[in-house]
Chains A and B, each alone.
Chain A
């Protein structure tokens, strides 16, 4: 099936097998490997991207379902190379990552969370990110980063 997706502002078109998942399309056709495949079962959230502005786990979306849509990955957040999105800066400042595997998905989920709720409480951040697993940080610094990136 022919799939055309606007990825981080640029059009990516490819002829792919019907069953191709969005995450494989992003990694193999768009060449964007920051989005990781952690569990393949929608449990871990490592593959979270924005699909038309809403967070989705891209291992559970067919590439064909994203045809004609806009996708944002962590590579597309900063407006300039060398610059960082406020959420990325907050993650760095609060030491919200160690190995970095969950980080792209965690950041996309956190951005989606703040888009819906610009000033979440700590409890709301924790429940909002419960679909994203991190084995390094114990979540505490991730929650602090999201709170810092929020309006307060």
Chain B
């Protein structure tokens, strides 16, 4: 019977249904041992001109941060920090004085938390 015009069971489905797919975050291979993770905090502004950035003097390193090769500061992605564990988004901004970010975490809330922490310093 031709597969054309006929409902055909997909061969990939049993694995997707019983063991799940293999997405990037599912990879458990030796090559990725100690691999860094990155969290992007996106700008709450859809379209804006960047007139200055104080990202450069951010202290790098620490128990949860690895040195950052470059801070992406163009377009939507405003600040990238490499992270060592998945829930490190708040850790990544803790050195800016941020101790708490309202849930659910949105770009606007992250930026608000950073601004608030700076004002109180």
Partner of B26, one of A33, A84, A95: A33
Q: Is A9 on the interface with B (CB-CB < 8 A)?
A: no
Q: Is B104 on the interface with A (CB-CB < 8 A)?
A: yes
Given the known A-B contacts A24-B86, A93-B9, A95-B10, are A107 and B17 also in contact in the complex, defined by CB atoms under 8 Å?
yes
Number of A-B residue pairs at CB separation under 8 A: 72
Partner of A92, one of B9, B26, B104: B9
Q: Which residues of B contact A33 (CB under 8 A)?
A: 20, 22, 25-26, 28
The A30-55 residues at the B interface (CB cut-off 8 A) are: 31, 33-37, 39-43
Q: Are A75 and B103 in contact (CB under 8 A)?
A: no
Q: Is A19 on the interface with B (CB-CB < 8 A)?
A: yes
Q: Is A78 on the interface with B (CB-CB < 8 A)?
A: yes
- Majority DSSP secondary structure for residues of A touching B: loop
Given the known A-B contacts A19-B87, A33-B28, A41-B104, are A92 and B20 also in contact in the complex, defined by CB atoms under 8 Å?
no
Q: Which residues of A contact B28 (CB under 8 A)?
A: 31, 33
Q: Which residue of A lies closest to B17 (CB)?
A: A88
Q: Are B10 and A101 in contact (CB under 8 A)?
A: no
Interface residues of A (CB under 8 A from B): 19-21, 24, 27-28, 31, 33-37, 39-43, 74-75, 77-78, 84, 88, 91-93, 95, 97, 99-101, 103-104, 107
Given the known A-B contacts A100-B20, A100-B21, are A92 and B87 also in contact in the complex, defined by CB atoms under 8 Å?
no
Q: Are B87 and A36 in contact (CB under 8 A)?
A: no
Q: Are A91 and B7 in contact (CB under 8 A)?
A: no
Q: Is B45 on the interface with A (CB-CB < 8 A)?
A: no
B33 to chain A, nearest CB (A): 13
**A97, B10: Cα distance in complex, Å:** 10
* Interface size class, chain B: 20 to 34
Q: List 14 A-B contacts (CB under 8 A).
A: A28-B86, A33-B20, A34-B18, A36-B23, A37-B86, A40-B104, A74-B18, A75-B18, A75-B19, A77-B18, A78-B18, A97-B16, A100-B20, A104-B20
Q: Are B86 and A92 in contact (CB under 8 A)?
A: no
Partner of B16, one of A21, A42, A43, A100: A100
Q: Which residues of B contact A107 (CB under 8 A)?
A: 17
Seed contacts A42-B104, A92-B14; 7 additional CB < 8 Å A-B pairs = A84-B18, A88-B17, A91-B17, A100-B13, A100-B16, A101-B21, A101-B23
Q: Which residues of A contact B116 (CB under 8 A)?
A: none
Q: Are B13 and A34 in contact (CB under 8 A)?
A: no
Q: Which residues of B contact A42 (CB under 8 A)?
A: 104
A123 to chain B, nearest CB (A): 25
Q: Which residues of B contact A27 (CB under 8 A)?
A: 25-26
